[in-house]
């Protein structure tokens, strides 16, 4: 499987305050790749590195087969981008912004742009500054989709939007992906939203990648185990122990990653009893991953 985005051993630093260190990321072509992380974890900085807006200190970034930032102009012609904050000229109208954008993209699809203007119910004569937050987000998505890029990079595109607008935007994205087999790289801290649409997910915190895995593995591999009679020291566990704490009554609550049903036999060898295996949704798994990473208990998936 080829990758739309490949990042190898990337290192980037902004002064002494923040750094991205030893980042490896592989976004499969045709996937919808969720990039999760709390605010300030380095998601936007990583996206800016992917788009060539920042230069890494060391490491390699390849986007759609070309090196970034060396080939940034060539790559950006094939990439639609929606930033976290709308950055367009506030004095231009919707139609002026569409015309402006169309002039720069060889594969601009005017038919799709007009279709999205209608389906998003955008007033073409209204200046950008007078659009609501939801309308601005829709326009940004419209501009990214009408470029007909092979890769869409979306930086928290639905953050702060009402559920109706969020649904409209996600629906337009899914339609686009199904029609064009495009790759979507979408960052967010809205875990439930990504859970619905993504087939790959990565979690970042404090400039480090905590995990990168297929969504199914992430969702079904993270479990809460109710265990009793386990020794304090656990070695050679076939799964990752993300957290371990005393439960109400007898036993302990363990949150584990990379879990598979066949691993229940591991507890027999410990002389412990596995009393229950509870499914966690992505948000719970995400929170536990962050907790374990911050306390130093976790590692790479």
Partner 1 sequence: MSAMLRAILYTQWKWSRLIVVLGSVAGFAIPLLSLQGAARADRGALQAQELLRSVQSWGTLYPLLATALGLLIAIAAWAADHRGRHIHALTLPLPRWRYVLLRFAAGLALLVAPIAAVLIGASLAVLFATVPPGLQGYPFALAVRFALAVLVAFAIFFAISAGTTRTAGIVLGAIGAVVLVQVIASMANIGLDLFAIAQVLLAQGIGPLAVFTGRWMLVDV
- The residue count for binding partner 1 (CB under 8 A) is 24
Q: Does 89 bind partner 1 (CB under 8 A)?
A: yes
Any contact of residue 148 with partner 1 (CB under 8 A)? no
Stretch that binds partner 1, among 91-99, 223-231, 270-278, 290-298 (CB under 8 A): 91-99
**Residue 95 near partner 1 by CB under 8 A:** no
For residue 85 the two structure tokens come to 């904050």
Q: Which whole-number Å values give the CA distances from 85 to 88, 119, 131, 236, 246, in the listed order?
A: 9, 23, 14, 46, 43
Residue 96 found at the interface with partner 1 (CB under 8 A): yes
Select from 105, 159, 206, 287 the one that contacts partner 1 (CB under 8 A): 105
Instruction: Output 102 or 197, the one with its CB closest to partner 1.
Output: 102
Q: Are 248 and 64 in contact (CB under 8 A)?
A: no
CB under 8 A: which stretch of 87-95, 163-171, 196-204, 215-223 binds partner 1?
Answer: 87-95
The reply to whether 90 sits near partner 1 by the rule CB under 8 A is yes
Please report whether residue 67 would count as binding partner 1 according to CB under 8 A: no
Query: What's the rounded Cα separation, in Å, for the pair 57 and 45?
Result: 13
Residue 103 or 246 with smaller CB distance to partner 1: 103
Distance, CA of 172 to CA of 6 (rounded, Å): 26
Dihedral in degrees, nearest 10, Cα atoms 292, 294, 296, 300 = 70
Taking CA 156 as the corner, what is the angle to CA 151 and CA 157, rounded to the nearest 5 degrees?
70
Task: Decide whether 24 or 95 has the Cβ nearer to partner 1.
Answer: 95
Site for partner 1, residues 170 to 199, rule: CB under 8 A: none
**3-class DSSP state of 75:** helix
Residue given tokens 């790759």 in the structure block: 183
Contact positions vs partner 1 (CB under 8 A):
51-53, 73-78, 81, 83, 87-92, 96, 99-100, 102-105
């Amino acid at each position: 499987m080829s990758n739309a985005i490949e990042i190898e051993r990337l290192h980037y630093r902004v002064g002494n305050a923040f750094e991205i260190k030893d980042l490896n990321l592989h976004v499969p072509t045709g996937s919808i790749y969720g990039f999760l992380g709390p605010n300030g974890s380095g998601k936007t900085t990583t996206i800016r590195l992917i788009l060539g807006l920042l230069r890494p200190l060391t490491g390699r970034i390849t986007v759609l087969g070309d090196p970034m930032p060396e080939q940034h102009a060539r790559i950006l012609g094939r990439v639609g981008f929606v930033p976290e904050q709308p950055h367009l000229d506030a004095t231009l109208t919707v139609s002026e912004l569409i015309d402006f954008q169309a002039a720069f993209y060889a594969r601009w699809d005017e038919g799709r742009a007009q279709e999205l203007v209608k389906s998003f119910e955008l007033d073409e004569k209204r200046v950008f500054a007078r659009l609501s937050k939801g309308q601005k987000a829709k326009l940004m998505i419209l501009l990214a989709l009408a470029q007909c890029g092979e890769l869409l990079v979306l930086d928290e595109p639905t953050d702060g939007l009402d559920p109706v607008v969020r649904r409209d935007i996600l629906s337009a994205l899914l339609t686009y992906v199904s029609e064009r087999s495009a790759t979507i790289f979408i960052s967010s801290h809205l875990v439930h939203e990504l859970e619905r649409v993504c087939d790959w997910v990565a979690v970042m915190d404090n400039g480090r990648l905590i995990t990168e895995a297929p969504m199914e593995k992430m969702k079904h591999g993270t479990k809460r185990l109710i265990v009793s009679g386990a020794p304090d020291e656990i070695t050679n566990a076939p799964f990752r122990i993300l957290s371990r704490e005393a439960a109400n009554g007898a036993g302990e609550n363990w949150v584990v990653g990379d879990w598979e049903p066949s691993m229940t036999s591991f507890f027999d060898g410990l002389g412990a009893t596995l009393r229950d295996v509870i499914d966690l949704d992505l948000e719970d798994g995400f929170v536990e991953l962050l907790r374990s990473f911050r306390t130093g208990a976790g590692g790479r998936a």
